Chains A and B, each alone.
Chain A
Amino acid sequence: MSVAIPNVPARTSRRRGILTSRKGRVGFAILLALIAIAAFAPLIAPHDPNAIDAARILAPPDLAHPFGSDALGRDVLSRVIYAYRVSLGVAVGSTLLAFLFGVPLGLYAGYHGGWVDTLIMRPIDMVLALPALLLAVALIAIIGPGSDVALLAIAVIYLPILARVVRSSTLVVASQTYVEAARARGTPSRRIITRHVLPNAIGPAIVQATILMGFALQIEAALSFLGLGAQPPTSSLGVMLADGRDFLTQAPWIEIFPGVAIAITVLAFNFFGDGLRTRLDPRGVAR
């Protein structure tokens, strides 16, 4: 009658605290710091990120400019901080957008099944079949470059992934006895979906979204590197990487610091996602 999957409920585990794993705590701490840096960029950045200083062209790191200066003599640290703000915004925004639309789609497809499932999931599968970056480039080719378009493109890439994850966990939850019991109590199906299925099925999608956010930063950087993301004067980490690549041998600091920022962010999101998985998705623990 019931599926023999141990059911660790989302709500109660939250009460005991998400951050029981060390990895999760480390990831969470780094993320908090990174978000603070992005949020308070004007307060933290030591210099104007766009101030050109002819005397400091390709100057190596020193005390006043710990990350050195770029080809126009701009302070790399300040530029990384401001660029990070744009990159993180695109990464988080795109994932949230995909989450906002992907979760309801997967939920309804999984709960109703049959032709509703087919109608929702077949187009999503088609999007999923296309190579992610190619899809993003094609979209940008249609709409035109810009960080908001990059955000949209990443959301389009992520929506099918999140919809699939939610659909599969919904299939498991919808067959549980407590959902049938809710039906037997005469609970309207809309309420069953929002109050009984969603809270029990959302866990894996939250984990997936967290990890996807880290990779969104990478995709954004790739698009910007190709000149398809943020446009000057706006800078993002990818733009910085593109700008610095001609000076890699003379002034590697222009490349290294934005690269490190990307790496740390992806790592932090992954750690945090793993920590969440341990709490929210009992099947992930056994893996």
Chain B
Amino acid sequence: MTNIDYKIIVGLEIHVQMAAKTKMFCGCELAFAAEPNSKVCPVCLGLPGALPVMNRKAVEFAILTATALNCKVAEFTKWDRKSYYYPDLPKNYQISQYDLPIGSNGFIEIPVPGGATKKIRIRRVHLEEDAGKNIHTAGPFSQVDLNRAGTPLMEIVTEPDLNNAEEVKSLAIELQRIVRFLGVSEADMQKGHMRFEPNVNLHIKKDNNEYKTPITEVKNLNSFKALEKSVAFEARRQLDNFLETGECLQSGNKKTFGWDDIKEVTVLQREKEEAHDYRYFPDPDLVPVVVNEKWLSQINSRICELPLGMQKRFVSDYSLSDYDAGVLTSDKATADFFDSSVKAGGDAKRICNFITQTGLKIANEKGCSVAELGVEPDRLAELAKMADSGQVSATAAVTIFVEMTQSKEQPGRIAEKLNLIQKSDAGELEKIVDEVIAANPQAVEDAKSGDKKSKKAHGFLMGQVMQKTKGTANPQVVAKILASKLKI
């Protein structure tokens, strides 16, 4: 029996579509699912004589991201042409960044099981233009839609610091949160705003020797699920392949795979790393970009508290569970809404429950964020205070919350209107309890009996009181009165 131990090594390339209004080098609008070739102009069509003009906003977004990923932001950067022929690339070169990326040598912290975090190094962050789309469904020929051609893309490359599929997924999700918090990308997976390409191999220890399996790159994954599963699959496949053939990493034996979403297997695309010569050279049509201190500080003044930091703060300052804090910080609007509501005086746990149990559900139905439901943080804080002090029941508070999304009135006023203020006056409630006791002698007897019927009978009597008060009685007060009357 041989002794085998192995470690999975993964580096990730991520393409993120920037939330710019226009394309990277022309004024064409970025539109999803528009009529093919309707969002194009001479520049993104690559017509003779057309010249690119840099989208400054997209550059600012990339700088912001690079800063958030703790990168060194280049003071001087430029645009390079990457040459290859493909029908979806109208100029047959892509404008990208080669040796001077906007950001380099950074890191991202990702959550790992047990509430801890892990630092993954970022090799580079650069900007480039996307290609169009080849469509092969029309018949014995292909069609090219260039609406996407020229879309600003940010490419983020990590060092191979990821050691299992869960970490890979965690990084992807964390990055999604970050770019959304920064407002630099909608990061909508359905719209292909984030695409992943993991590079995977194994470092195997066998009989005190170390082996490295050939690196494989899985192309163009556009869901977290596909990303996680493909990495796990590749790790297993590589281990099996190693045990069977003993094949090890050599220069040039990097393979390229695709992912079959239905069979959930990786599919070999290119056996050997093609000797691609992209003939990079600086694009003479674009002037270099000088990032001076003034511009950089203007850009970085827009940086906000990042999701993981916020999540940790919610746990430490507001005593939330890591899970709840994670849910609240999945997008910035929700996180800020929660934070403001707590700062306006609401109890954190109660606000969290309002948001996670009711708010997110309504927001989902309406297709907006919790912050856009029309409930201001101070009104939500007020509602939380009413619930805490027993002025309204937990159930009534939910009703009031829902009503607040339709009305600008204060929660107290809504509670009054809907007759949801709890009756806590002992004298008044005692009268009602007495009436219920008088009307239900059997139940009273059962309740007093102390056997297994007693609990049910007790609940019945409580229910009668609530019914008589149309649900407005404070259940704690009623329970107390009932207990003293029944001497249990």
Instruction: Decide whether A and B are members of one complex.
Output: no
